Structure 1
Amino acid sequence: MQDLHGTDRNGAPEKDEEQNYLLLEAQQNNTHTVLKIGRALDTCDHLHDVILGSDTVRVIWSLYLEDPPLDGSTWQYHGKEGRGSRSLHLLSPPGISKPSHDHGVLHWDVTLSHVSRPTQNITSCFSFKPIIWN
């Protein structure tokens, strides 16, 4: 695993001079490679690292059929299907606390229990008669 960053041009990533990612766990089998990594929220590397917070972060990724060389000397092109990007929350957003009843706020929680999720995607609609408080 290496700390790399994209460039302004469409090409191979460059190795970051400051390697501030820590490999915490790694697993690989015939079909998957899973890496668990960690780093400081603010690495002080403002040239190539983004300060992580509660906002979404645009993550770019690429897949290769074979492991790239560790020295990063030659990066093979991953093809159009072997790449992508996604906006992700890398940190769990802060929980939403329920309003305190001490302030005169009433709430009603609607939950479903004993509902199984089918293997196919379906759309369901449920209607509930609200509670009328006086």
Structure 2
Amino acid sequence: MSLDSKKPTELDAEIGARIRSRRKALKMNQTELGLAAGVSYQQVVKYEQGANRAASAALVAFASALSVHVGYFFGEELSADYEESAIMRFIHSPEGVELNEAYTRLDDDKRRMVLGIVEDMGALHSRLGTANGVHSENRACM
């Protein structure tokens, strides 16, 4: 295989299949993924079919939109360590500490309500791909 070939290869088809598989696992459609990754719906279709070669910048955008490490597209599996390290980084961040301290002051009913709200926001973020799940103009409302 020549590196300067513009023709899609078997690897491009494998990468496309992984993009499609992860998108479906997240219950996203191709339009939503395209919006989140900054490409057209048609480009998503072509990448998933292996008809187009994905540049490194596109793979980084897809990885971000699909909440995976770029290595996922080359056969690295999602690991509990990768997901756990992201969770631990957040827990130890100033926002994570503040959130946990405030959460522990709530009674059980209010904790369940807060958890439901956060889960709904997370689902919306996954579908829309918005930065940090909240538009900056809405932060004051929270």
TM class, shorter-length: under 0.3
Considering fraction of residues, name the structure with more helix: 2
The structure with more strand, counted as a fraction of residues: 1
**TM score, norm. by length of structure 2:** 0.23
Q: State the structure with more CA Rg.
A: 1
